[in-house]
Structure 1
């Protein structure tokens, strides 16, 4: 009987049925490998969340100090790079003479670094003769704590802009906007390049003049739990409704709201009250809006004194193609149908006055206007699914508690594992190796 029991145990191990202690060892190794493989893995191992989740398919690229060695970017792709404290960093684009091309740069300062209100990032696009096609700047503003911020530049084909309309080589220049008191050091950088084809038939070349600029009453009702992601690629999908999460000082949460042509977005972020601490934390809560190509649209901030506070975005026009002809940046940025990003940040300084939290965050999202037919493009935007060329009331479809993933702990863990395995390949191999070694040792011991 004893011999048969030993054979049974060996067969059980061979079939993959590990005893509890062996399973614990494998799971522990799996978590360690997964943590080490993720960007910011050492921070995760120490109990501090990674400040930003890069796109799992991001390609590594090194920026150049001049145009001669500028690394090429391809519309439709995402890149991971770095940004030094000073100087201009160059990348190149090979473009046709008909498509609009957008490049955004998301800067991620190191946690604990010092940034000031005037610090930030600037993105410019120039032609081969050094003429400016466009530029955009985003600074930390009143919420002067390190967090991901993004700016964008473009090469646009427009009857109102005669420059930058030829095919050829263009250059993307990314640089720091810095003050004398900012902390030197390299920032991580995520670059996202998108192309938009021309229209089959030219339409209006002026922005809509009449739209409802009044703010409706925020939505009320029971909140649905949505944890939020740590980057554009990891943003959690929400729609019209009330959504809640917990947020710690220093954290940034990303959500995406699908918007069809003709839809109008209203959003507020509310920070719950605290029973401990005292004083005022200036610019504690920040709510930012980015468009589908990760271009900055607008933001709002609120000071926190321990009582519930709300940051509310100013009313923005319905999504239309013609908004690109508007003057002010917040209006012209509402030019695409697709997923718009609500990015919420709680300043690290809140912990000094009110503790480490977490604090309850409530997002109230309202969509107005009926979905409309979009423009007919003479081609497909790249990458697919970012600038939407079709129609459909995506905003309504995303509501009602529907989400896109990591709302529960188990789903979140599986998502992290899948992304890590795809991004590195090493995690899968190491875990399989650990599993095999543990199984063999267990078999030899019985």
Structure 2
């Protein structure tokens, strides 16, 4: 006689309605979890694709309805209690209760923290001319002022800043980017590749200023003025500050949950408190490939976290191992990044950098650790597999454009031993 398992009647509360939190709710149902799922988010919008903020949404090419993760009816149909516009103020891990700003409390058996991050802010006066870009409300405020003929200062030449600059130029705005480092996207790309992205900006008419040690950002009735410590000044009608984000750990830390550059978790995404997990941008996860810890801020990493934590909760736990990848659309080019490229890596280029048709493979200590590709998405998928498998491949093979990376990853090509 086959034993019948007891139904799982636990209540899982998920804090955060981004791709990590909403993805975890969906993955739990897909894995057969039959208990209660309560999905709570402070933003008033139903879950949507956040990467669209600096691209399709800001440009007006897509509506909010088009970038929603699911139709409004989906959550109820899946038995997911979606609560938006609700802020969590405190977590009591002893009583297993989360407390909300409206005074309500919600009990949980399992808690998933997917609280994401918040924008790093400059010490500057509040002004309708200075913008940050973290949610739909931020996007709408910026969009209302980003009109043809207006001028924009972008403080920060990272991923968001570069995408905003690209979108603003497409809308007919004049754009100046102020970057502290010698090159834009220096945290994400090796220098030889970052130089090519800088060239894209210059060709598109962006005034890219690097090595800017910003001292002040002030506003007046006429516009915004940025002043560097070396005396240089720039003015514009408005400014976007895009200098990175900070993991939103305040509520977790106050509850006694271990934090260190995010919420610290193990390879199963478990925090220091039993039955409390953390996923997405806020989670600092052991790196099974390079060692140490890694806190990713990428859409696909958050998706992978969501699936992994659902499996753990339903008893199918596997250690989390995933090679991150991300993408960016700038000036008509699709840029994809896999793994953990670094400034000091050996870079092997397949294709032509000058024509923006290439894959640059990054090597460190003889191992493939990352890649950057423009216009070659299949290569990025292959490189992720190569990083996972850590094969012994000679530099000559990797540099040979006649050797297909997809076939190499699939093991279809005999590989020489170093």
* RCO comparison, higher one (Cα < 8 Å, 6+): 1
Q: Return the TM-score normalized by structure 1.
A: 0.25
TM-score by length of 2: 0.26
Higher radius of gyration, 1 or 2: 1
